[in-house]
Amino acid sequence: MSYRVTLIPGDGIGPEVTNAARLVADATGVKIDWEVVDAGEKAIKATGSPLPDQVLESIRRTKVALKGPITTPIGSGFRSVNVALRQQLDLYASVRPARAIAGEGTRFPETDLIVVREATEGLYSGVEHWVDRDHTAAETVNIITRKASDRIIRFAFELARRDGRKHVTAVHKANIMKTTGALFQTAFRELAPQYPEIQADERLIDNMCMQLVKKPEEYDVIVTTNLFGDILSDLCAGLAGGLGVAPGALYGESLAVFEPVHGSAPKYAGQDKADPVAEILCVELLLAHLGETEAADRVFRAVWETIQEKKVVTYDLALPGYTTHPVAASSCSAMAKEIARKVPLVDLSKPLLRSAPPSAVAVDGHLEAESASRA
Ligand code: NAD
């Protein structure tokens, strides 16, 4: 049996990391028939549109896609392709696991969280305007509906139930946003009793940020609205080791699109330098979604062991300033080949080993300073 899956290579480092992900997917032995379609800069050149209908048609047909990051041109007339894709396909649940892999590159080697973010409304609804002609005042409308709140909160509890997670935390700002915040809070309070086996609690967004950097191990599944989820998922990616290792998934009622948390990192495009792990872990999530759980587990373990061994890892897992145990950096394709080589060989019955926690925390200047415009 073969699965048909849409593949969007994307912009910048997208083609490199999606090639790496394909190599690893092939190594699992699961037969995937990739339907390659372009969105983003290549599509603008070919069709004039960054999101041609053909892309949406392909995903509606195959129902599952692997996507590379796509550049959002600043100042051009185009809206973010990523936001448009979520809204047009009603991919309402953005799920971003933050797992500290092998205890590398993180101050919190026990981090194992999932951020579930509502992805279709809130401050991303696209309802905004200048209030005056001189552009000295502006307004962006935060649309929160009970329907979308119920849907995402139910999704988070169902995910927790399915994955055997014990605790769901709703994050909002209901003390200040008396309507939108309260609507989300009420939906959570009314739905939580339907999942009595799962501990349910709430945090205000500001307190949540502080709690996460103090004791991330106390949190399990976090459910929140669009912008808070955007910010928290980057924060959690940082807790778990950085953008280079943070995968993501977008789910609708019947469609699923897998994409890394990171963007197209244009300054590294074409250099075979970017970390392929985030995109490779998207393959893990994709295989799990297809029901290929053993193949998914093999991918995760091969990634884990490659990072733990630290013989063939990209710069963000290798160099001084990024890690307390520097080694020579390998290329994106070399790391992908090493992970693919391990996939059929790993022993799923062995415990996963962790590196000793670093005594001093490495400062990752690029990853921390530059993720200003994540969609
Ligand atoms: P970015 O994630 O592309 O890059 C920020 C920095 O993080 C990079 O300069 C690099 O130092 C590092 N980095 C990112 N991915 C890496 C990887 N795989 N390996 C090693 N280092 C990595 O964020 P940005 O610079 O804010 O955005 C660049 C473009 O990507 C923008 O046009 C933005 O709109 C777009 N973007 C797209 C998506 C998406 O497609 N879902 C998400 C975020 C940003």
Q: How confident is the model at residue 126 (pLDDT cuts 50, 70, 90)?
A: confident
**Catalytic residue of the set 230, 234, 316, 364:** 230
Give residue 370's pLDDT: 44
| Cα 243 to ligand 1 centre (Å) | 8
At residue 76, does pLDDT exceed 80?
Answer: no
C-alpha closest to that of 339 among 288, 276, 286: 276
Is 214 in a helix, a strand, or coil?
A: helix
Give residue 359's pLDDT: 52
Is 124 annotated as catalytic? yes
Q: How confident is the model at residue 356 (pLDDT cuts 50, 70, 90)?
A: low
Q: How far apart are CA 354 and CA 132, in angstroms?
A: 56
Is 267 annotated as catalytic? no
Q: Which two tokens stand for residue 3?
A: 């699965």
Query: Higher pLDDT residue, 371 or 125?
Result: 125
Q: pTM for the whole thing?
A: 0.91
**Catalytic residue of the set 173, 273, 337, 342:** 173
Which amino acid appears at position 342 of this protein? K
At residue 375, does pLDDT exceed 70?
Answer: no
Residue with tokens 């994050």: 171
Q: Does residue 20's CB lie within 6 angstroms of at least one atom of ligand 1?
A: no
Q: Does residue 83's CB lie within 6 angstroms of at least one atom of ligand 1?
A: no
Is 230 annotated as catalytic? yes
Give residue 102's pLDDT: 87
Nearest atom within ligand 1 for CA of residue 260? 41
Q: How far apart are CA 61 and CA 2, in angstroms?
A: 15
At residue 7, does pLDDT exceed 50?
Answer: yes
At residue 171, does pLDDT exceed 90?
Answer: yes
Nearest atom within ligand 1 for CA of residue 266? 28
Is 173 annotated as catalytic? yes
Q: How far apart are CA 363 and CA 5, in angstroms?
A: 38
What percentage of the chain exceeds 90 in pLDDT?
A: 81
Give residue 275's pLDDT: 97
**Catalytic residue of the set 53, 206, 267, 311:** 206
Q: Does residue 69's CB lie within 6 angstroms of at least one atom of ligand 1?
A: yes
Summarize the confidence of residues 344-371 as an average pLDDT. 65
User: Nearest residue CA, atom 24 of ligand 1?
Assistant: 371
